[in-house]
Amino acid sequence: MIEFLQQLINGLAQGSIYALIAIGYTMVFGVLRFINFAHGDVYMLGAFAGFYTAPKLMALFGGGPSYAGAALVLVSAMSICALIGVLIERICYRPLRQHPRLTVLITAIGVSLLLESGGQYLFGADPQAFPEIIADAAIEFPASWGIFSNLTVTIGQVIVVGSTLVLLLVLRTVVLHTKTGMAMRALSLNPVAASLMGVNIDAILSFTFAIGSAMAGAAGVLTSIQQPSIDPLMGINAGLKAFVAAVLGGIGNIPGAALGGVLIGLLEALVVGYVNPTYRDPLVFAVLILVLLFKPSGLLGKPEREKV
Amino acid sequence: MKSWNPKLALLLALLLAAGANVFSSAINPYYYDILITIGINIILAVSLNLVTGYTGQFSLGHAGFMAVGAYFSAWVTLNFGFSFGSAVPATTTVYVLALAAGGFVAAATGLLVGVPSLRLRGDYLAIVTLGFSEIIKGVIQNAEPLGAQRGLGGIVQHTNLFWTFAGVALAVYGILTLVHSTYGSGFLAVRDDEIAAEAMGINTTKYKVLAFVIGAFFAGLAGGLYAHFKQFIHPEGFNFLKSVDIVVMVILGGMGSTAGVCMAAVILTILPELLRAVSGYSWLPEQVRHLAENRMILYSILLIVLMLNRPQGLFGKLNFGSRKS
């Protein structure tokens, strides 16, 4: 029982990371109807943005681990990733908007490979140690909690889950309660009608890429708090898992992406804890195939009809 | 329209392969290795071209089929290699049977992957095929008789120039004659407009699955050739990046252009070797040599620039036997 709870906690922390990445997939799919293959690599760039800015930013707060410094690192990584996301859309995807989807998909794969191999060229292929921006330790529970005092919850896990919740709430406000958010929703419902109503499609697309990439960048830094080893290929696996999460929740649906992320994280933790760690990746893909076969619209998505 | 005789060309290719094989001992081992790799890559690229180029089903899991063929054929020769005696004709028979068996098991896997493709298009299909190849890799990594994560070694080397290029000839001949037949124009119809094809009474489902099955068969054949050449196979040798390699060949050559895809396979096999040579020239600046070692940077930029400026690939619609493109 207590072990099961422990696995759930670990899964929740990992699932939050997937949720943050999955939101980027789902938002871009919502407005452009295509999978941004390079999104997982933006997450990797987020981790490296944190890696390179942390020493300078942490020095502002005395150099040691501090919450204010960590927040600054998080925000700077998010801004850098937002910029990269906008640039990717501007240079690689915008000229192809009227092209067949296969062309765009191949371009996205090309961008993904470029970020990975370029990362290996610039940052080096070997894993690097992410600086300690938060003094991570297990939280001590009072003995009066009975068996629950045996649970291991680290400060890092609390921060990851907490930051994810905050970011999700901010995103919710932006999407539901601002004019830009309304334009985004209009665009995903019907691009032609939206542009007739005066929505600036280019600006909204840039904004969508900026938000999605910023979320991925945040995920990159948050991941590095828990697992301080980062490398240029770390985005492949995380990106694929997050994509599965987005499909599981219903692609195009933002709460669905968050839910899917958490569910995939929990599934992984349970497979690692109770079955066999080597089955972790194949099982996640099996989930994807099953979802696509039996409920392609995902848990929270609405079914979409193919029109001639 | 045909200005050539496909059967004659096949015979000629087989004779050429046999002829070249006679001189194989005179070839520098390094070039010999490259020649065989070129042949295997042509089979892979041409078979993926049937799925992606001619039928329009984007697949990111071709290395998975190759893995199935490689592992199954290697398992057959490792376990039954000497069951008809150790004379050369007997072991060669087993080898050829193993290659065919590897191809057929890969084709059965292709059937398994093709079925979900009935409901999926484009992006989704790409991810599902990728997922399938990851699942195949995961199964192999957990299969003790196949060496699990240690890889499978001790495979006898049977693959030579003749078998490799006989495989190339068979794959090119089979796929070209298929898509140029009346029956085969269904593949092109599915690619060009699935809904219109269906309205014209074409069984699009059947064509899509068939493309996967045939493509997987030849990928499995290539895997068998590869396993019996390298004598050691490892699950990581059939990962996502291997699939991407094959995809790049097809896109660079031009989707739906068999001749172009063959040329791209040759170029992309030789290119890394040239880059390796470049990275060895000590008079070049350190940065350039370092860049030359990262062929993926070049590939990815090539992919993006091609898609932005020339989506039909370097060689466009160039094809064997056609007078004009």
Residues B119-152: pLDDT tens digits? 676 677 888 888 888 888 888 888 888 877 888 8
pLDDT of A205 reads 92
User: Which chain A residues touch B139 with a CB distance below 8 Å?
Assistant: 282
Examine residue B261 and state whether it is found in any structural domain, yes or no: no
Q: Do A113 and B195 count as a contact with CB atoms less than 8 A apart?
A: no
In this structure, chain B runs to a length of 325
Q: Is A114 at the interface with chain B, CB within 8 A?
A: yes
The gap between the terminal CA atoms of chain B, to the nearest Å, is 12
**Does residue A305 sit within a domain?**
no
Question: Does residue A304 fall inside a structural domain?
Answer: no
Instruction: Give CA B324 to chain center in angstroms.
Output: 26
- Shortest distance between the Cα of B204 and any Cα of chain A, in A, equals 16
Q: Is the Cβ of A242 closer than 8 Å to some Cβ of chain B?
A: no
Q: What integer is the mean pLDDT of A6-15?
A: 90
Query: Shortest CA distance to A38 belongs to which of A242, A181, A285?
Result: A242
**B193 domain-assigned:** yes
CB contact under 8 Å between B291 and A118, yes or no, is: no
Where does the pLDDT of residue B60 fall: very low under 50, low under 70, confident under 90, or very high at 90 and above? confident
Least Cα distance to B224 among B10, B44, B20, B17 occurs for: B44
Write down the pLDDT at residue B188.
87
Whether A142 is covered by a domain: the verdict is yes
Instruction: Answer whether residue B226 shows pLDDT above 90.
Output: yes
CATH code assigned at A54: 1.10.3470
pLDDT at residue A140 tops 80:
no
Find the CB nearest A117 among B60, B149, B294: B294
User: Per the CB < 8 Å rule, is A107 touching B304?
Assistant: yes
Question: What is the token pair recorded at A17?
Answer: 């990371």
CA distance linking residue A168 with residue A211, whole number of Å? 11
Q: Place A16 in a pLDDT band, splitting at 50, 70 and 90.
A: very high
Work out the average pLDDT over A180-199.
89
Q: How confident is the model at residue B313 (pLDDT cuts 50, 70, 90)?
A: confident
Count of alpha carbons within 13 angstroms of residue A234, beta-carbon side: 29
Q: Please give the pLDDT value at position B1.
A: 43
- From chain A, the residues in CB contact with B138 under 8 A are 278-279, 281-282
The complex scores an ipTM of 0.80
Reported as a single tens digit per residue, the pLDDT across B65-79 is 999 999 999 998 888
Most confident of A74-78, A277-281, B92-96: A74-78
Q: Is A127 within 8 Å of A231 (Cβ atoms)?
A: yes
Residues B23-27: what's their mean pLDDT? 78
Interface residue A145 vs chain B (CB under 8 A): no
Q: What is the pLDDT of residue B65?
A: 94
The residues pairing with B233 across neighbouring beta strands, listed in sequence order, are B152
Give the model's confidence band at B325: pLDDT under 50 very low, under 70 low, under 90 confident, else very high: very low
- Domain range for B137 is 6-238
Smallest Cβ–Cβ distance between A105 and the set B58, B300, B308 belongs to B58
For B158-165, what is the mean pLDDT?
A: 85
pLDDT at position A34 over 70: yes
Domain presence at residue B32: yes
Residue in B126, B240, B244 closest to A105 by CB: B126
pLDDT at residue B124, as a whole number: 76
Q: Is the pLDDT of residue B182 over 60?
A: yes
pLDDT at residue B100, as a whole number: 92
**Is B135 part of any domain?**
yes
Min Cα distance A29 → chain B (Å) is 11
Residue A307 lies in a domain: no
Helix (H) or strand (E) holding A265: helix A254-270
Interval A38-55 mean pLDDT = 93
Tell me if chain B has a CB within 8 Å of the CB of A290: no
Mean pLDDT, all residues of chain B: 84
Average pLDDT, whole number, for chain A?
87
A109 lies in a domain?
Answer: yes
B308 inside 8 A of chain A by CB: yes
Chain B residues in contact with A96 by the CB 8 A cut-off are 307-308
On the question of pLDDT at B218 being above 90, the answer is yes
- Please tell me which residue of chain B has the smallest CA distance to A244: B127
* B261 vs A305 pLDDT, higher one: B261
Whether residues B308 and A95 touch (CB distance < 8 A) is answered with yes
pLDDT tens digit sequence for A234-267: 998 899 899 989 988 888 888 899 999 999 999 9
Q: Dihedrals φ, ψ of B267, to 5°?
A: -60, -45
Q: Residue A306 falls within a domain, yes or no?
A: no
From CA B136, how far away is CA B140, in angstroms rounded? 6
CB contact under 8 A, A296 and B119: yes
Q: Check CB contact of A35 with chain B, cutoff 8 Å.
A: yes
What burial letters (b/e) apply to B113-142, b meaning 16+ CB within 10 Å?
bbebbeebebbbbbbbbbbbbbbbbbbbbe
Asked whether residue A300 is domain-assigned, the answer is: no
Q: Give me the domain span that covers residue A54.
A: 2-294
Residue B276 lies in a domain: no
With respect to residue B37, please indicate whether it lies within any of the assigned structural domains. yes
Could you tell me if B68 and B136 are in contact, meaning their C-beta atoms sit under 8 angstroms apart? yes
Q: What is the DSSP string of B87-134?
A: SHHHHHHHHHHHHHHHHHHHHHHHHHHHHHHTT--HHHHHHHHHHHHH
CA distance B193 to chain A (A): 10
Name residue A128's beta-bridge partners.
A230
Min mean pLDDT across A51-55, A95-99, B82-86, B315-319 is at B315-319
Residue B287 lies in a domain: no
DSSP-based helix, strand, coil % in chain A, nearest 5: 75, 0, 20
Instruction: Decide if A150 is inside a domain.
Output: yes
CA distances from A124 to A73, A131, B51 (A): 22, 17, 36
Model pLDDT, residue B271: 85
Mean pLDDT of A84-99: 90
Instruction: Give pLDDT, residue B90.
Output: 80
**Among A39, A225, A17, A235, which Cα is nearest to A123's?**
A235
- Residue numbers in A near B116 (CB within 8 A): 289, 292-293
What count of residues does chain A have? 308
Distances (CA, A) of B4 to B46, B104, B121, B190, B258: 20, 30, 36, 27, 15
Provide the domain count of chain B.
1
- In chain B, the percentage of residues whose pLDDT exceeds 90 is 18
Number of independent structural domains in chain A: 1
Count of CB contacts below 8 A, A vs B? 117
CA distance B290 to chain A (A): 8
